[in-house]
A and B are shown apart, each in its own frame.
Chain A
Amino acid sequence: MAFFFEVLIGGLLAGVMYTMVALGFVLIYKASGVFNFAQGSMVLFAALTLVTLLERGLALPWALAASAGVMLVVAVAIERVVLRPLVHAPPMALFLATLGLAFVLEGLAQLVYGTQVHGLELGISDAPIHGLPIEISKFDLFSAGVAAALVAAIGILFQTTRAGVGLRAVADDPLAAVAVGLDLSRLWAIAWGGAGLVALVAGLLWGARVGVQFSLSLVVLKALPVLIIGGFSSIGGVIAGGLIVGASEKLAEVYVGSHIGGGIESWFPYVLAVGFLLARPTGLFGERRVERV
């Protein structure tokens, strides 16, 4: 039984990491209804910026601030160059455009910062904490804490601030929002900027965990089932989705995968998500907006 819980906790903590990436998606989806495939590339871009600045000898706080600035500039540029001309395009064209954007960002990140793997040391040990019945590393707990803080911050932003309420209005009905005088492009820039900052935090934690390298951009793919299960527009749902994906893929790998050759982690979350789509297309907490047939 202890083993089961160890796997479960490990999976849940991995799920927290997926949640971090998925949060960036929700931010943009809530504000503009765009599924931003380039979020993973933004994570890679952010992490590479940060690591390069650190390697140049900048102190962590300054490097973080500078990277945040870079991400904000990138996000605003994306809004202006890619999204604004496509305002009235169908959702699929927007999705395909973000796919193109992902390629541009990946190429650009590796062109500017190089392709070698960088280590990222945050000074938090990844060793298990002593004195607990099951093994949990300090770093995992730290990530969980950061994720919780981020979720809380985004929740507060959407619920209480003027910009947050504006974003919700835009997501609900862009025409009506513009009619009552909301500045659409400013709000979109805010949403994309926020997603850029979330990408930076995600890149920081993922980078410290697995090294800053190209595979970071592939994290985006695991965020997709998280979003489907949790619901595209719900921040609470993303947390639940991340935890479900993390826990179930680890449990499935250990208890089922070992009998059929292993490695089922690679496809299990997607199959799970398809199951959810068929049974509950809105996800666990999503609004009833997913287009059903």
Chain B
Amino acid sequence: MSSEMTVWPSQSRDPAAPASAPVGKSENSSHHARIRVPRSVPRAVARGAAIVVVAALLVSLPLLVTDYVLSAILVPVLALALAGIGQNFITGYAGQLSVGSAAFMSVGAFATYDASSHLHGLPLLASFAFGGFVAGVVGLFFGLPSLRIRGFYLVVSTLAAQFFVVWLFTKVGWFSDYSASGVITAPKLSVAGFDLSSPGGHYWLSLFVVAPLTVLGRNLVRGRLGRSWMAVRDMETAAAVVGVRTEQAKLLAFGIGSFYCGVAGALWAFAYLGTVEPHGLDLDRSFQVLFIVILGGLGSIAGPFVGAAFVILFPVALDRLGSVLVGGSVDAGLLQNVEKIIFGALVILLLIKQPAGMARLLQIAWLRIGRWRPRQA
């Protein structure tokens, strides 16, 4: 297990940090102190301004792009990225393998549905929180074997969760209000009197749920809990020796990760699809979320967004490319197989070449652009 530390990706860092480090090193220390103080103020201002601009852009996106982009690309990307963050808490940070994220998404969706249909007048966001909470409890339960077994043996426990949840929601009608084959449909989407049933509304709902949870997650993994997760991942015995409460850390990874998956499931079901059946969130979806995390970046918060965008956009791009090359519509089955091959090959390639995923690749590219200066003759 000791080799794990060197190969497994470390926590993602602020993109600015690696860039500034070599600069600081090359200067001598007395200059360093003098230069650094006045510099950091405009940098903080620039950073704050950038955040404001990006936030404004994200919020005003529905005015800029078409309904298709909103409801077929942005909303599912946000939902899957949130699920990816949850998966990343469990797998990328705490080092526990899970192939049950779709089950936790499913629990979240059904619990949200049950809360909003049985408790009239419950605000939408409260029922989302309830769905996430129930998913968290279920995730915690299926994470219990992690106290006794390690690594990929947990696959079997999370597989149990996956198959059991699909079976439960199909067979026990109470969860879906006795609808045929367990299909549930979205409650009315409105927050504080604002109607959110348009594509733009779906996007805003997703954004206002995903954005705070992302910031929270980022702070979480940089804080005490995140560091104890990484300690458990990198060397559990050593972590326990230096006083990290490893059992608590692992259970919290499953609980919090599943909370994120649960909320993501509610978004997936109600903001994206509008309706969901138990088999819509099956093992394939779990693999998809796992792939999002591997492709985007294990152990990073930005990674799931990159991975989710790739997973949603790539099939669209492949379809367009196919019809350009062939000059007509391409057989869907053929495309699906090509897609599978490329996804699988990319997973292998990234695991070999860059375990920190596409997010790190983008970060490296960004740094190269930032450092590039025209050569002086």
Give Cα A93 to B348, complex, Å: 9
Q: Is the CB of B151 within 8 A of A224?
A: no
Known: A102-B344, A107-B337. A274 touches B145 (CB 8 A): yes
Known: A93-B7, A115-B333, A273-B156. A99 touches B347 (CB 8 A): yes
Known: A93-B355, A228-B156. A277 touches B8 (CB 8 A): no
Q: Is the CB of B351 within 8 A of A277?
A: no
Give Cα A221 to B351, complex, Å: 23
Q: Which stretch from B68-76, B158-166, B210-218, B253-261 is at the chain A interface?
A: B158-166
Say yes or no: is B14 at the interface (Cβ < 8 Å to chain A). no
Known: A97-B351, A281-B148, A293-B148. A106 touches B156 (CB 8 A): no
Say yes or no: is A101 at the interface (Cβ < 8 Å to chain B). yes
- B151, B236, B343: the one within 8 Å of A91 (CB): B151
Q: Is the CB of B351 within 8 A of A93?
A: yes
User: With a CB–CB cut-off of 8 A, which chain B residues contact A273?
Assistant: 156, 160
Closest to B344 in A: A103
Known: A99-B347, A293-B149. A88 touches B160 (CB 8 A): no
Known: A228-B153, A228-B156. A101 touches B344 (CB 8 A): yes
User: With a CB–CB cut-off of 8 A, which chain B residues contact A274?
Assistant: 145, 156-157, 160
- Name the prevailing secondary structure of the B interface residues: helix
Q: Is the CB of A263 within 8 A of B171?
A: yes
Residues of B in contact with A, size category: 35 or more
Known: A111-B338, A278-B145. A100 touches B157 (CB 8 A): no
Q: Is the CB of A278 within 8 A of B3?
A: no
Give Cα A154 to B157, complex, Å: 29
User: With a CB–CB cut-off of 8 A, which chain A residues contact B156?
Assistant: 224-225, 228, 270, 273-274, 277
Known: A274-B157, A278-B148. A107 touches B340 (CB 8 A): yes
Residue-wise interface mask of A (14-49) relative to B, using a CB-CB cutoff of 8 A (1 in contact, 0 not): 000000000000000000000100000000000000
User: With a CB–CB cut-off of 8 A, which chain A residues contact B348?
Assistant: 81-82, 97, 100-101, 104
Number of interface residues of A (CB under 8 A): 49
Say yes or no: is A110 at the interface (Cβ < 8 Å to chain B). yes
Say yes or no: is A260 at the interface (Cβ < 8 Å to chain B). yes
Q: Is the CB of A104 within 8 A of B345?
A: yes
- A103, A267, A277: the one within 8 Å of B343 (CB): A103
Say yes or no: is A117 at the interface (Cβ < 8 Å to chain B). no
Closest to B159 in A: A270
- Top 7 nearest A-B pairs (CB, nearest first) are A103-B344, A100-B347, A107-B340, A270-B160, A104-B344, A107-B341, A267-B163
Q: Which residues of A contact B (CB under 8 A)?
A: 35, 81-82, 85-86, 88-93, 95-97, 99-108, 110-111, 115, 221, 224-225, 228, 260-264, 266-267, 270-271, 273-274, 277-278, 281, 290-293
